[in-house]
Amino acid sequence: MRHIISLLMANEAGALSRVSGLFSARGYNIESLTVAPTEDATLSRMTIVTSGSDEVIEQINKQLNKLVDVVSVMDLSDGDHIERELMLVKVRAEGADREELKRMSDIFRGNVIDVSDKTYTIELTGAGSKLDSFLQAIDRRLILETVRTGASGIGRGERILKI
């Protein structure tokens, strides 16, 4: 099953490689991994999307907790949570396509953030599945490049990951 795991870790050099190394060494799946410092500059927050049996997920949580740099771990999938991913898509936008692409972007609540004679760059956020749908909804041949951040996640309401 797919799980989205959030963790706080010391913002130390090499901390990221400890997490990614753990996943490769133990053969765990890693669908996406995002990381950036938090409001407390000594801490980074990471969101990992992974999948596996209940036993594997339990081990992943324990092994992550065991890393000395990791302060705390929360399996967001254990409860209500919100997931968002950012995608930038550059599309060929000429002639009739220009209008159509703008319309699709609006439907998906995207923003056109860069415009040239022949291209648009569209910014979209949402759950990964929404971003997938957008890519399916537009004409594939028009896609010049896409870049996605991978999911970031946070618990709903009082589900808080903090130290």
Partner 1 sequence: MELTGAEITIRCLQEEGVEYVFGYPGGAVLFIYDELFKQEAVKHVLVRHEQAAVHAADGYARSTEKVGVALVTSGPGVTNAVTGIATAYMDSIPMVVISGQVSTSFIGEDAFQEVDAVGITRPCVKHNFLVKDIKDLAATLKKAFYLAKSGRPGPVLVDIPKDISSMKTAFEYPSTVNIRSYHPQVAGDANLVKQAAQMLLEAKRPMVYAGGGVILSDAAKQLAELVRLVDAPCTNTLMGLGGYPASDKQFVGMLGMHGTYEANMGMQNCDVLLAVGARFDDRVIGNVAHFNSVPRRIVHIDIDPASISKRVKVDVPLVGDVGNVLTDLIKVLKSSKQKPDAAAHKDWWKQIDEWRGANSLSYKNSSEIIKPQFVIETLHKITRGDAYITSDVGQHQMWAAQYYKFDKPRRWINSGGLGTMGFGLPAAMGVQLAHPGETVACVTGEGSIQMNIQELSTCKQFNLPIKVIALNNRYLGMVRQWQEFFHGNRYSQSYMDALPDFVKLAEAYGHVGILVEKPSDVEGALQEAFARKDELVFLDFRTDSTENVYPMVPGGKGLSEVILAEDL
| 51 touches partner 1 by CB under 8 A | no
Name the segment binding partner 1 (CB under 8 A); options: 69-77, 96-104, 112-120, 150-158.
69-77
Distance CA 62, CA 56 (A): 10
Which one of the spans 15-23, 81-89, 113-121, 124-132 is the region binding partner 1 (CB under 8 A)?
15-23
Q: Is 8 helix (H, G, I), strand (E, B) or coil?
A: strand
**By C-alpha distance, which of 86, 149, 140, 145 is closest to 120?**
145
Backbone angles phi, psi at 58, to 5 degrees: -60, -45
68 binds partner 1 (CB under 8 A): yes
Q: Can you tell me the distance from the alpha carbon of 85 to that of 155, in angstroms, rounded to the nearest whole number?
A: 15
Among 16, 18, 34, 146, binds partner 1 (CB under 8 A): 18
Q: What DSSP element (H or E) covers 101?
A: helix 96-107
Give the tokens for residue 140. 């594939």
Under the binding rule (CB under 8 A), the answer on residue 162 touching partner 1 is no
59 part of the interface to partner 1, by CB under 8 A: yes
Is residue 34 involved in binding partner 1 (CB under 8 A)? Answer: no
> Where does this chain bind partner 1 (CB under 8 A)?
9-10, 13-14, 17-18, 21, 25, 55, 58-59, 62-63, 65-66, 68-72, 163
